[in-house]
Amino acid sequence: MKNQRQAKILEIINTQQVETQDQLLALLEAEGIRTTQATISRDVKELRIVKELTSLGSYRYTTADNAMTSGFSTRLHTIFRESVTSLDYAQNIIVLRTLPGLASAAGSALDAMNLSAVVGTLAGDDTVMVVMRDTNTAASFCGEIKSLLN
């Protein structure tokens, strides 16, 4: 029963904006799962569910891993917008040009994302070389980075 309830909690917070434990309790009851607020509180702690600030200024429950990824994504976006001046790719290698002294930050941000498509990065003063798994991945990733810059 506990595993079922916790799986349903994760499903609910990943598909709906849940702001309070009372709201979560009501959503669980709507799914036919009867429990108490104290049990929900323990589940939230065990599942490492945290509240994150949304772009609308309200809070919502999410898993700690999702919050961390979201934080990295925001940081990567900021670093790229403020430091990357140009980029291009050749086969499976992307070359990012940055403002002087900022290549290491851009490379480190990419490494911290733990993206399976990125084999690794090598940063100098104003250039980052990103080695991707294949040419198609490099092309699509380069396109994503360009959209971050616009």
Tens-place pLDDT, residues 74-97: 666 777 778 889 999 999 999 999
pTM (two decimals) = 0.52
How far apart, in Å, are the Cα atoms of 17 and each of 9, 10, 14, 54, 83? 12, 12, 8, 10, 33
Give the largest Cα separation in the chain, rounded.
58
- Among the four given CATH numbers 3.40.718.10, 1.10.10.10, 1.10.287.1040, 3.40.50.1260, the one describing domain 2-47: 1.10.10.10
Which residue shows structure tokens 């990567």? Answer: 76
Confidence of residue 71 (pLDDT cuts 50, 70, 90): low
Q: Name the fold adopted by 68-149.
A: Gyrase A; domain 2 (3.30.1360)
CB-based contact 102:85 (threshold 8 Å) = no
